[in-house]
Amino acid sequence: MADPKPIPDDLRRLAAAHGVATSYRNERREPVEVDADVVIRVLGLLDVDAGTEADRRRELAALDERARSGALAPTIAVRLTGEPHPLPGAVQLVGEDGNRIDVHDELPADLPVGWYRLHTNDGQEVTLVAAPPQVPMAPATWGWMLQLYGLRSARSWGIGDLGDLREFVDWTATEHGAGAVLLNPLHAPGPTHPVQPSPYTPSSRRFANPLALRIEDIEAYRRADPGTRAEVDALRVAADTARIDHDLVWAAKRDALELLWRSVGRPDPVAESLGSEVSEGLRDWATYCALAERHGGRWTQWPEPLRDVRSPAVAAARRELAPRLAFHAWVQQRCAEQLTSVRDAARDAGMAVGVLHDLAVGVDAEGADAWALADVLATGVSVGAPPDNFTPRGQDWGLPPWRPDRLAATGYAALRDMLRAVLDHADGLRIDHVAGLWRLWWIPPGEGPDRGTYVHYDADTMLAVLALEAHRAGAIVVGEDLGTVEPEVTEALASNEMLGCAVAWFTRDESAPGEPLLPPSKWPSRAAASISTHDLPTAAGFLRGEHVRARADLGLLDDVSSEQATAERERVEWLAMLRSEGVLAAEPEEPAEAAIISAMHRLLAATPSRLKLISPYDVIAEPRQPNLPGTVDEYPNWRLPLPETLEQLRADPRVAEITAAFREASAGTV
């Protein structure tokens, strides 16, 4: 790679003013300079001209003029601690309910949390986010983390569904005393084939995945005549396929939903489903689905007039396609009903936390949110990660990022609405790649991951919006902070009462030579702790070296022997740890795999981490991990069902043994 082109001082100043990094520290904490041309391109994506010295001089002069004017930022965030907040020039607040509060240069100490429009004496009107100091505190408990699609039962249509989840929640809360269930993202994929199997590349983060619907639990099914029910039943996909076929499942469930929709027999279903009470977001989602069915799932290839969600052509298409809009809105309403039913079941069962939903870091660039929210997303940009020792060419995740300037200009409404949509059915939220609230690696259109840079966000405001919406939902928050994160991220998670993440494979004493495994007593308390994650080896996969074999078979490793040696060394290290902690018998012969996995779970149960999560993949010794990073179709990512059905899990003695260990550990700490 050529040396980066030097960055002149005026470009450095301009980039800093707009949050564009001109240098960063890599995974070894070494400084890396960004090429000047990359900085100029990224600034251009933020509508900042920086290509010439004259351009930069003009842009800096405009910034200086704004600073001299004393103008407020378009969005301001405050944390309500009981103390007044000085705000010179403030004269009035308008709340969400329209009530007006007169203020005199400072916010009242007893101001309720909420969203406000702030008026100043010089005529400015800005958004004020008045947030609590922290998110709700997570109680100490344990629970499960599930890939819902893989949790199949005798009643499933080829994929785990919300009926299976409701049964699982009631069972594990009642029989095991589990206090939480963390799910993979249940965001909506697009309505066309092929269906995107990855829950982390959704079409929309504001709406739910209809593949998770339990068809027989829909009220229209219960009320349908015998003939219609027989037609629906005939569409059912077998629950014992070797891999989950998302396209087959969606084809079957879509046809079933179409039958039930037609059977409802409303005199004016369009008016009922798309009346004035329907949100603009739902209207946009339904419009995208209807247009995608006609023109294909890639909106950037639609006829030009349809690419702008607010165009007259889209308004005309809404009228023409009104019945399809009504259908897709109706489907989302059924999703909301079943998601609410699951959450209510967890609460009724007395779960300490309840159901936690996972928030993906972004959306499909060709999907519904990228189309409907194009005004606040950086079109054509992809986020990812810079080059490092593990990925020398960097990573491109194919997800468009928020534009920080547009978020601020629009009062962070898009972020607020997305959080509300997920929290509406949740008792907690896990945020994938939580460092993205601070910065994301932007890759300009047409470039590779090595030709990007970090763009910084107003983390104080992002966190305030999160705290406000979590407070209103009564939801705890977990931030996925694995890997190299900046110290400010760790500090902010703690000060906001958010949990971080601790994973067995990575929980080491970085201050000691050789970075040995941390004993359970030294694991972080403010964390959601687990043995593994969906992107890492399962317990059985780790012990068998499956994670090395799978990558070697696919040609993803440069030095297989070295990886095998590392895996064996780590395995021996883990056995020594388990024996020293007294959870595995100190016998000379090789222990059985089942005994080792049981000991790993007992070690996890003994940690002080506030939320301890177990996975059925680990408990029942499934060697294959749900997702193998660095692959797409080479490995069956997001297509692997659990090797046992829900009914078999309920009878598996390994489940009873391991859940008993967590129940006993929890009882001992109360």
Q: What is the pLDDT of residues 158-207, one digit of tens each?
A: 999 999 999 999 999 999 999 999 999 999 999 999 999 999 999 999 99
Nearest-CA neighbor of 300 among 236, 371, 349?
Answer: 371
Nearest-CA neighbor of 592 among 540, 538, 636?
Answer: 540
Q: Where are the domains of the chain?
A: 9-69, 75-131, 535-670
pLDDT at 268: 45
pLDDT at 277: 61
pLDDT tens-digit profile of 362-385? 999 999 999 999 999 998 999 999
pLDDT at 484: 78
pLDDT tier, 62 (very low <50, low <70, confident <90, very high otherwise): very high
pLDDT tens-digit profile of 247-299? 999 999 999 999 999 998 654 444 444 555 679 999 999 999 999 999 999 99
pLDDT at 135: 98
CA distance 625 to 631: 12
- Which segments of 386-513 are extended strands (E)? 395-399, 428-431, 439-443, 453-456, 476-479, 500-503
pLDDT at 248: 97
Q: What is the pTM of this model?
A: 0.95
Is residue 514 pLDDT above 70, yes or no? yes
Residue whose pair of structure tokens reads 């070894």 in the numeric block = 28
Q: Are 245 and 158 a contacting pair, CB within 8 Å?
A: yes
pLDDT at 438: 97
Q: 3-state secondary structure string, 347-410?
A: HHCCCCCEEEEEECCCCCCCCHHHHHCCCCECCCCEEEECCCCCCCCCEEEEECCECHHHHHHC
pLDDT at 70: 86
pLDDT at 269: 45
Q: What phi and psi values does residue 291 have, to the nearest 5 degrees?
A: -70, -35
Question: 295 or 590: whose pLDDT is higher?
Answer: 295
Contacts of residues 413-416 at CB distance under 8 Å and 24 or more positions apart, as own/partner, are: 414/373, 414/376, 415/462, 415/465, 416/115, 416/465, 416/469
pLDDT at 1: 55
Question: 395 or 459: whose pLDDT is higher?
Answer: 459
Q: What value does the mean pLDDT take over residues 562-582?
A: 95
Is residue 221 pLDDT above 90, yes or no? yes
pLDDT at 670: 37
Q: What value does the mean pLDDT take over residues 215-230?
A: 97
pLDDT tier, 598 (very low <50, low <70, confident <90, very high otherwise): very high
Q: Are 332 and 326 a contacting pair, CB within 8 Å?
A: no
Is residue 425 pLDDT above 60, yes or no? yes
pLDDT at 274: 53
pLDDT at 239: 86
Is residue 606 pLDDT above 60, yes or no? yes
pLDDT at 393: 83
| pLDDT-above-90 percentage for the chain | 87
CA distance 406 to 401: 11
- Cα 324 from chain centre: 29
CA distance 656 to 619: 10
pLDDT tens-digit profile of 607-657? 999 999 999 999 999 999 999 988 889 999 999 999 999 999 999 999 999
pLDDT tier, 3 (very low <50, low <70, confident <90, very high otherwise): confident
Q: Are 278 and 329 a contacting pair, CB within 8 Å?
A: yes
pLDDT at 588: 67
pLDDT tens-digit profile of 458-504? 999 999 999 999 999 999 999 999 887 889 999 999 999 999 999 99
* Residue 384, strand partner residues: 396, 441
* Residue 653, strand partner residues: none
CA distance 270 to 274: 6
